[in-house]
Structure 1
Amino acid sequence: MFRIGISKTSIVVIISIIAIVSLCSCFIALTYANPLQNSATTIHSVTNINMSMYRNLVDRVKYLEERGYDTIYVQYLLLSAKYYYEKGDIDRALEILNKAIDELNRVELRPSLPQLNFTIARSTLYIDDIPSTWDFVPIGTVFALSKRGYLVYPRNDPKWKLSCFIILAIGHNREGEWFSYQGRLPLKPREGVFKPRVFIDNEWRILDIAFAGPLYYDYGEKFGYPTVYQYDLSGRILQYVMYIPRNRTWIHKIIDLESNRTLLEIRAKAIGVPMWIGRWNETYLVHGVYAREKGLDIWSGFWDIALMNATIRIDDTEKKFRGIFIFDRASHRVYYIKNAFMPLGLPLAFSCMVIYQENIVIAIANSVNPSPWDTGYSF
C-alpha cells in the first residue's frame, strides 16, 4: 500500500514501525486454568488475598467473556487489585478485589449487532475520504457501548481480535533536542496492558503508568468533542484522544488527576489524505497469516498523519517540541478461524513505514505470506 500527501513544513523525519501488530497484540499476563463449569455460582466477598482464589476469579472471567458476557470492567478491577497488592497496599487491593467480586456476580451479556458484510480487497488506495467521527469510533459496526459507557465487541461476533488506538510521534525543539513517543489506548485487558514510552534527554523512558482498558467513549458531552478515554490501573491517571472533525485536529493528553497536572499534551493538525486500510462495513485487507492455526488476520481502518505541537512535563521540567504525529486507528479480525479466543500466536509478516519531509508524506504498509499456504487472497 502506498500513499502520498502534501504538507507545509521543512522538518525531515522517518518513522519506521516494524510489525506494529506485535506492539498491540500482547495479552493479559495472567495464567488461566480450566474455566469454571458453573457460571451461575455466586462468589462471596473475601477478607484476605491468595493466588489460588485470584486465579479462580480469572478463570471465571475468561469463561464468561467467551460466552458473550461483558467482563471488561471486572478484568480492570482485578488488575487494579493486583497493582495495589504488588505496591504493598493490601487494604486497597482487598477493597478493589471485593468490588470486582461484586461486579462479577452482576455481569450482563454484551449487546448484539447486525451481521457484518464485507469483502477482502486487493487494494484500498481508491479511498480518499476525510475520517468522520464514525470512522474514528465505529459504534454499531465494530463496537457496541456497554451500560458503563465503554466500548465492547458485540457478543454475536467473536471474530474481533484487536483494536488499535495507537499514537506515534517524533519531533525536536529549538535547542536541537529530539523527542519521540509511543502511546496506546488498549480496548480491554485481554488486548494487553500498555505503559507509554518516551524518548527525551537522549534516552528512552517507560513511564510507570499502566493502561489496560476499559476504553470509554464520549460523544462530546464530557470533553466537548468525540473522545476515547481511560484510567490507568491506579485510577489516578487519565489519558484520552479527542477528534475535532471540522478541522481534522487530534488532541492527546495524559493527566495526573490527583495533582491536576498534564504530563503530556499533543495537538496535531492532519495533513494530506489519510492512509486508508479499508472501510469498516465494506473492505478489509489481509494483515498476516497466523502461526498456530490455519487462518488470516484481516484489518480495516486508517492512519492519519499530522503536524504536531507537543508539551511534556517530566521531573518538574517542561519541554515543548514540534514534529510529526501518526494516529493508527485499525481493528483486526480473524478469518477462516472460528473465534478470536483461540491461542493463535502473532500474524506474520507485516512491516510499515512513514516518511515525511517538506511537501511530501509517504506511507507504506507491506504484508508478506511466509507460509506455504495459498490463502487465495493478495498480500
Structure 2
Amino acid sequence: MQGPKIKAENNVGAIVNFDEQFIRSAYEKISAQGAEIRDVPDNFVTLSAWFHKEQLWRDYLDLFKMVPSLKGCKVVDFGCKFGHTFPIFHALGAAAVIGVDVEDEYLRVGNLVFSAIGFPCELVKSDEGYLPIESETVDFVLVNEVISHINPTYLDTVYAEIARILKVGGKVLISDGNNRASESCVADLRSLYAAWENGPAGTSTGRDTVDEPFRGARRDIIAGLHPDMKPEEIDYLADNTSGLFGERLAIEVGKYIRREGWVARPYRDGCCPTNPGAGGVVMERALHPVQVELGLAEHGIAAQQLFSYATTQQKSLRYTLAVAVYNLRLRMTKMFAPHKLYGRTWALYVLGTKVGTPPADWDVRKGVKLFHPPTVVNVAAQQA
C-alpha cells in the first residue's frame, strides 16, 4: 500500500514572534501559585521550578521548530500531565489549548492552578485512548514522551482518535526517546525493563528510579483481592501474571483459583514491562519510526521521521568543530545510507499530516510511497 508524501517543514515557523516575556511571567505565576496551594503534590512544584528557574521551556522550542506556525491554531497536548506546556503554546500564538491525560490527579491539579491564575486552557481525560474532543476541530497535536507509555492495547485507538480530531491538513508531532531502530537505545532499555519488572525498589535505571517494581505491585493487588491466599501462592501468581493489568489480572487470578483455564505468564527478558494498574501503562516501550508512521497511515495521516542539523550558541572551537562533524556525518548518511538514519539517535521525531482521503484511496499510480527514509530539516537542534 502506498500513500502521499509529507513535505518536511524547512522553516522555523512556530517560533516566529515568540513572546518570551509572556512565558517567563506565566511560569513565575505557576510556580508561585503551586507554592501557595496546600494540596499540590511535590512533583508539580518540582516540575514548575524546572520550567521557571531552569527554563526547561527552552528545550521545547527546538521541538516546535519542526512544525509550522501555531498562530491562531487550536492545539492539543496529548499526555500533558499538569499542563506545563500550555504557556509555550500561547506564547507561540495558539488560540486555544486543550490538555489530555489519563491521570485524574494531573488534571485536578492542573485545573486548580491554571484556574487560580486565570490562564486560558482546558484539561480533559482520556480513557482507553479515546479523546472527548469534537471531530475535525484541531490544528495540531503534540505527543511528547508519551507514546512509549501507552499500552499497545490502546495505541491504535490513540492513532485513530488523533486522526479523527485533526482537521484535514492538521499536524501531529510524535516525539519520544525510545527509538527501536537505535541499537544502543535498545541495549540500554534491557536493564531498565528488568529493573521495573523485578526491582528492587530504589533501583536507579539511569533515566529514573524504580519506586515500586511491577511484580511487587501485582503481588499487592492479588493479596488485596484474596487476603486469605497463602503467601507462596501470591508469590507464584505475581511471578506468572506479567503483562496483565486491571480487570484482566483479576480474571486470570480467578482462573487459577478455580483451576479452570489458568495459564502461567512469566516475565520474558527484554520485554517492556506493564504496570498492573487499571490503565496498563508500559514503561519506556521502544518503537521503530516506521512502526509509528504505518500506525498513523492506517488512519489517514501521512507521516515521516525528521532530523535536524545541529547548531550551538557556544563560540569555542571545540563546539564549532563538534557541530560541523555531526552535521557532516548526518549529510553523508542521508546521501549514501539513508536507511541508517532511522536509528541515528535514541530520540525519534515523526511529523504527520492528515490527508483528505483514507489510505485505501491513496493514488498508487503516482508512485507516492506510504513511507520513505527520514528527512533532515534545516532547523536548530539540540546542542551537539
Q: TM-score range by the shorter chain?
A: under 0.3
- TM-score in terms of structure 2 length: 0.25
Please state which structure has a larger fraction of its residues in strand.
Answer: 1
- TM-score in terms of structure 1 length: 0.25
Whichever of the two has the greater Rg, that structure is 2
